[in-house]
Copies of this chain bind each other. A is one copy, B any other.
Amino acid sequence: MTRMILSAFAMSCVGHQSAGVWNRDDDASTRYTDLDHWTGLARLLDDGGFDALFLADVLGTYDVYGGSRDEAVRSAIQVPVNDPILAVSAMAAATTHLGFGVTVSTTYEQPYALARRMTTLDHLTRGRIGWNVVTGYLDSAAKNLGFTTQIPHDTRYDIADEYLDVCYKLWEHSWAEDAVIRAGGVYADPAKVRDIGHLGEHYTVPGAFLCEPSPQRTPVVFQAGASPRGRRFAARHAEAVFVIGPTPEAVRGTVDALRAEVAAAGRDPHSVKVIAGLTAIVRPDASEARALLDDYRASASTTGALALFGGWTGVDLSGLPGDAPLTHVTTDANRSALDLFTRDADRTWTVDELARFVSIGGRGPVLAGDPITVADELQRWQETAGVDGFNFMYVTMPGTFEDLTEHLVPELRRRGLVPDRPAEPGTLRERLGTGDGARLPAGHRAWDLTIPATEPVSPG
């Protein structure tokens, strides 16, 4: 049996992938500003067999629908949104095994500062941190963060390539393995704490890293970009990649293209774990699960869903009546955007149908059933799509995750897909099996880099 990676997907906001559900009595999403909301969720996932909690982030608002952010604000569609990195230490203190993935953009912060934040989190979590590297895609973020407009997509990735190289030099090469002595009055050997001497096109970082090595040194590198340039970036850097698509057959193409790119980058194509985003409503009784999904869809916000849709695709559907067929979408780019959301590209959807579909689980597929049916379907995904695990979105918080840990995980354990929790906590990298123990695997980009007058540090 193949090991199945279980990740929970959330965000420090009210409405993440399901729109307007905060209004339900059985949802506690509005408590996102309370610390015990997060420590409780982390404990639930840790006790319940999840490998990691992933936190999304944006630094802007979704303002395509109706040409403004109004609907996003009204329905709390990823706004208000707090910083995802700040609750991690409290969640780490409340748990022993769970990993934490945080989304941070390379576009709006200097690598020297971000590298220190990540290392601090890796220390405080004892090696349970991962970084979902994004480059930012919202114009509304860029213009508030020192840019007159968003940097072009591919250029953002060029800059991000250099950004990660700076980080690897700081994390892996500045402090030698035996730099820290911590005895006889000598804390660290200054000869073994080295300047990285980075003088690049986008960043100048001549100095040494400020932090001593943490358990993983480099946090587990995650990536989610699906564009050709994003895929090339992932092939070079990522240890795990998030994908999304309506069917396992559709996702298979993405996975194959990714693994081919990883091989082209000189790495073992199966060394990169692929994790598919989806929503699963699991109840002991299948009809109860399906009724719950119907109830969720009936109570969700369709205008909120279209605000999400607009932000992701750039397509504003606000001017159309609900029963309008989506035939106005004529350009290839928009058609491709719509295809993301529909299982059947040949059928003509109405605006209302699309909104109702997107309102629960966003652009990901939604499974609803009993534990056996859903476990079967996840196995089919694993085999057909060739993915290594799943990033579970929630509808209600923490209800969806309570159902998954109570009903689904025991069934996955029975099938040998999810291991029992080990007695001793380890690092996130060890848990996911993406590296050489706690450290980046041999062959990773980080080992190609050198710093002045030194040899690269070997991972072993």
Residues of A within 8 A of B (CB): 12, 14-15, 20, 22-23, 30, 33-36, 38-39, 59-61, 68-71, 73-76, 79-83, 85-90, 92-94, 108-110, 112-113, 116-117, 119-121, 123-125, 140, 143-146, 148, 182, 184-190, 193, 203-208, 210-212, 214, 301
Contact = CB atoms under 8 A, between A and B. Distances in A.
Contact of A33 (B22, B61, B71, B123): B123
Nearest to A58: B210
A290 to B, nearest CB: 24
A85 to B, nearest CB: 7
Contacts of A89: 35, 86-90
B124 A210 contact: no
Contacts of A33: 123-124, 212, 214
A295 B140 CA distance: 58
Contacts of A38: 124
Contacts of A211: 80-82
Given A112-B144, A119-B82, A145-B110, A188 B74 contact: yes
B108 A59 contact: no
6 contacts: A34-B123, A35-B89, A61-B207, A81-B210, A144-B206, A144-B207
Contacts of A68: 190
A193 to B, nearest CB: 5
A107 to B, nearest CB: 11
B88 A146 contact: no
Contact of A88 (B14, B86, B188, B204): B86
Which 6 A-B pairs have CB atoms at the shortest separation, nearest pair first? Answer: A76-B187, A70-B190, A89-B90, A33-B123, A82-B120, A80-B212
Nearest to A77: B187
Given A74-B190, A110-B108, A207-B144, A93 B94 contact: yes
A207 B143 contact: yes
A82 B30 contact: no
A356 B20 CA distance: 64
Nearest to A75: B187
Given A22-B187, A112-B144, 19 more contacts: A33-B123, A33-B124, A33-B212, A35-B89, A36-B93, A39-B93, A61-B207, A69-B208, A74-B189, A81-B210, A86-B86, A90-B90, A90-B93, A108-B113, A110-B145, A110-B146, A140-B207, A143-B204, A144-B205
A36 B59 CA distance: 31
Nearest to A33: B123
Nearest to A93: B90
A90 B85 CA distance: 12
Nearest to A143: B206
B59 A146 contact: no
Given A81-B211, A207-B140, A185 B117 contact: no
Residue picked from A59, A79, A148, most chain B C-beta under 10 Å: A79
A180 to B, nearest CB: 8
A86 B210 contact: no
Given A190-B69, A190-B74, A113 B145 contact: yes
Contacts of A119: 82
